[in-house]
Structure 1
Amino acid sequence: MSAAVRAERLDAAGRATVGECPVWRAQEGALYWVDIPARRLVRLEIESARRTEWTFDEQVACFAFDSAGRVVAGMESGMFGVTLADTGEARATKLAAPSFPAKGMRFNDGRCDRQGRFWAGTMVQDMSLASAVGALYRFDRNRALSAPIVDGLITQNGLAWSPDGRTMYLSDSHPLRRIVWAFDFDADTGTPSNQRVFADLHHYTGRPDGAAVDADGCYWTCANDAGRLLRFTPKGELDREIALPASKPSMCAFGGSDLKTLYVTTIRPATNATDDDGHVFALNPGVQGLPEPDYAGMLPVA
């Protein structure tokens, strides 16, 4: 079950405090990700090792590209449309905002479903409060933000879809939860139903953070606090475990020209951090990933 796979540290990527949301941009041969508390989105062009960063007025936690290369992003106060310039300039326009039920909230994990709708969840940033007021939202192709689709979440995470788009995955990574759920997913309406436990990490190790699904339909979750990647089959059975040099992996994404490289962002803990914590890693897990869907709506030019 444990696989001896070497994870390469991408030193050219720099180091983040809270690295999250890696997104492979095939057209550019580049990996993008965010550093949440730094209010920063970063790009690394893999072959040239050229690094570009964009800084925002508020924290950005998750994002996706549209077909024109613009960005939809979940930030502190809502959903934004963003135009990125190669000079490092970013222009952001707020498109929609939920009614936050508590203070100190922001968006957290997010990505597009197979039909190009952007999904993202909210959380109270102070995890010590264990406030179950977070919710999952759908931002559709007409730039309309839904009412909460799934509520009662503490630390929303782990969004992913099966290759056929008929199963949606969602996790709550708070230490009191540590659960990955699966839902039946109506691709036509963008409606999840039949919520059930897919993986309970109380039976394994770590907390289920960001995730990705491979071409075999298996679900890879970052086991935060355990320095592990865990791969679950579509039946919810753990079939592979890969150790990482950093203790707090946060999210993974397939990339490279053949989608056989798994990129992993990590978080730098406040205490007892090592040289590896906060870096981005690349590894070859022996399986192929799936292309990340673009947002299917039209974003405004900011």
Structure 2
Amino acid sequence: MSGGYEVAVRAGAALGEGPAWDPATGRLIWLDILGMRIHTYDPATGRRSARTTEQHVGAAKPRAGGGLVLNLRDGVGLLDPDGTFRWLHHEPVPGRRANDAAVAPDGSLWAGTMRYDEAAGGGTLTRLTGAGAVEPVLSHVTVSNGTGWSPDGRLMYYTDTPTRRVDVFDYDGERVRDRRPLLEIEEGAGFPDGLTVDADGCVWVALWDGGAVRRYTPAGALDRVISVPTARTTACAFGGAGLRDLYITTARTGLPSPHPLSGSVLVIPDAGQGLPQPAFAG
């Protein structure tokens, strides 16, 4: 069914990604990975800003003390409110770049990577604490993507996009175990990309080449489909007053005839009830 979308930010991002609501500023943070730009959008005023990074940026999340933590091509870095940058973990790997990342309930960053050529098994998922401790979580993934946690913090959801699955793990506050499939996207419907979890414990999944965002129950049953005109929906996040509005990022890269809104940020007003997202503890 149609979702009654509106255009939040009309843009032409090559690879719009990573929406994250910053409650401290009342702004949406989102990215153009290939354009190497971090964007902000204030829905109350319509004000926008952009900052260029020196390399491809897969995620930008608020920090508890202000500023942002960045998942970059060559590792994870910290951007202070005054613009000062420093590496938290520097690990350049030729041919590999950062992709999606998420902040866990304990304030750690779970940062994904992938190969530029999307070679099978070339990506990783790594946990980083605010103190800079680094713990590998998953290796030999292909396109590390959407990551999120259940409202009670006992489950973690994760997508390796080419598998067409969203998997679920048990989570003990630091580590995960017992990986199993939660849902699988059928052939022809696109590939699971970024995701978010709402206050009911339902998982919202953006479908790359699917032109839609889907909501699944905690048991993995399809509950709702929001269709949009942009084929490459990349990620979604709740924001706005009361965390009721669902923001959707989109991409135009690789499309021979992109829709005029491809690369824009769309919003579904009053789509559901989002969860407050923790800031990175560093």
TM-score (norm 1): 0.89
2:232 paired residue among 201, 223, 248: 248
User: Segments of 4+ in structure 1 off by > 6 A?
Assistant: none
Question: 1:83 offset after TM fit, Å?
Answer: 2.2
Q: How does 1:23-38 map to 2 (within 5 A)?
A: 23-38=20-35
Conserved in 1, the CA contact under 8 Å of 2:14 and 2:32? yes
Distance 1:254 1:295 in 2: 18
In structure 1, distance between residues paired with 2:123 and 2:245: 32
Alpha carbons 1:7, 1:245 under 8 Å: kept: no
CA contact (8 A) 1:231 1:240 kept: yes
- 1:121 paired to 2:121: no
Partner residue, 1:193: 177
Aligned to 1:69: 66
1:203 Cα shift? 5.8
1:300 maps to which residue?
A: none
Q: Report deviation, 1:91.
A: 3.2
Question: What are the equivalent positions in structure 2 for 1:200-215 lying under 5 Å apart?
Answer: 200-202=184-186, 205-215=189-199
Q: Is the 8 A contact 1:226 1:248 kept in 2?
A: yes
Q: How many residues align?
A: 281
Deviation at 1:279, TM superposition (A): 0.4
Shift of 1:280: 0.2
Pairing partner for 1:39 from 36, 41, 62: 36
Letter in 2 for 1:248: R
8 Å CA contact 2:73–2:92 kept in 1: the answer is no
Give the CA RMSD over aligned residues: 1.5
Residue segments in structure 2 that go unaligned for 5+ positions in a row: none
Partner of 1:156: 144
Q: Counterpart of 2:131?
A: 142
Shift of 1:10: 2.0
Measure the CA separation in 1 of the matches of 2:58 and 2:210: 22
Structure 2 residue 115 is the aligned partner of structure 1 residue 131:
no
In structure 2, which of residues 227, 237, 241 is the aligned counterpart of residue 257 of structure 1?
A: 241
Letter of the aligned partner of 2:77 in structure 1?
F
Percent identity for Structure 1 against Structure 2:
34
- Return 278-287 or 221-230, whichever deviates more: 278-287
Aligned amino acid, residue 185 of structure 1: Y
Cα distance change on mapping 1:239 and 1:251 into 2, 3 Å: same
Query: Which moves more between the two structures, 130-139 or 253-262?
Result: 130-139
Give 1:27 deviation, angstroms. Answer: 2.4
The Cα shift of 1:20 comes to 0.7
Aligned pair partner of 1:79 in 66, 76, 79: 76
| CA distance in 1: counterparts of 2:192 and 2:223, whole angstroms | 16
Matched with 2:259 is 274
Q: What SS does structure 2 have at the residue aligned with 1:33?
A: strand
The answer (yes or no) to whether the contact 1:19–1:33 under 8 Å persists in 2 is yes
d(CA) in 2 for partners of 1:20 and 1:91?
23
Question: AA paired with 2:53?
Answer: F
- Cα distance in structure 1, aligned partners of 2:243 and 2:269: 10
Cα distance change, pair 284–220 in 1 and its aligned pair in 2 (3 A) = same
